[in-house]
Amino acid sequence: MAERERSHTRPRGAVFVPRAQVMSAADVHRAITRMSHEIAERNRGLEHLVLIGLQTGGVPIAERLAASLETVESTTIPVGILDVAFYRDDIGLRPVLPEAVTDISFDLTGATVVLVDDVLFTGRTIRAALNAVSEYGRAQAVQLAVMVDRGHRELPIRPDYVGKNLPTRRDEMVDVTEDGVALGDVVGR
């Protein structure tokens, strides 16, 4: 979600200025390994398990989780890509544009879906993703994995797998990249 917001604010001259490095690249790697073990523990055998990364920040994390699960349980986990732009409830409040094309090439009926995002904030992206996912079949269960839970929920949504709980101010910005997780501000808006 942070990624998504950032790419919309950038063209208007806003930039992300990091203040503190919260997780290093190695920390993110360890968190991914731990989360994949938690996913494997909770969904024994990983049968019918699929990962769906949310555009754009969730996609690389979903791919890394799938790679890690493959070493943990020696099974290949399908990974889908979902863009929730058309399901958001803040259409009309701020610019909401699709970042990339959704790619879910498998039926989700009966599957256990793990939604993957980089940052969990208000929960509105996940609300939209739940609606979007239901268009691809009736999943047996939907779980949520996020690298950072930064609080400030506006909806009754709770993650199942968390890389790091990170208390933040509402106006701060969390940036998740390959190099780790940084906390900072959006300047110049």
Partner 1 sequence: MNQFPHHLLSIDDLGPDGIGEVLRVADSFVEVGHRANPKVPALRGRTVATLFFEDSTRTRVSFETAAKRLSADVLSFAVGSSSVKKGESLRDTVETIEAMGIDAIIIRHPSSGAPTRVAGWVTNLSVINAGDGWHEHPTQALLDLYTVRQALGGGDEGMDRFKSLQVVIVGDIRHSRVARSQVAAYAALGAEVTLVAPPTLLPPSIDGWPIAAVSHDIDNELPSADVVSLLRLQSERGSGEFVPSLREYTTRFGLNGRRAAMLKPETLILHPGPMVRGVEIASEVADLPAAHITGQVSNGVAVRMAVLFLMLGQSPVQGSSNV
Residues of the shown chain interacting with partner 1 in the complex, contacts defined by CB under 8 A: 11, 83, 85-87, 91-93, 95-98, 100-103, 131, 135-136
To the nearest whole angstrom, how small is the minimum distance from the Cβ of residue 135 to partner 1? 5
CA dist 62 and 107 (Å) reads 18
To the nearest whole angstrom, how small is the minimum distance from the Cβ of residue 79 to partner 1? 16
Q: Which is nearer to partner 1, 32 or 81 (CB)?
A: 81
Q: Taking Cα atoms as reference points, which of 43, 44, 109, 108 lies closest to residue 79? A: 108
- Catalogue the E-assigned strands of 39-171: 49-54, 79-82, 112-120, 141-149, 161-165
One-letter identity of residue 176:
V
To the nearest whole angstrom, how small is the minimum distance from the Cβ of residue 9 to partner 1? 14
Q: Which is nearer to partner 1, 20 or 101 (CB)?
A: 101
Residues linked to residue 21 through DSSP beta bridges, in sequence order: 182
CA dist 175 and 36 (Å) reads 22
Determine the length of the chain.
Answer: 189
To the nearest whole angstrom, how small is the minimum distance from the Cβ of residue 98 to partner 1? 4
Q: Which is nearer to partner 1, 72 or 96 (CB)?
A: 96
Q: Which is nearer to partner 1, 58 or 159 (CB)?
A: 58
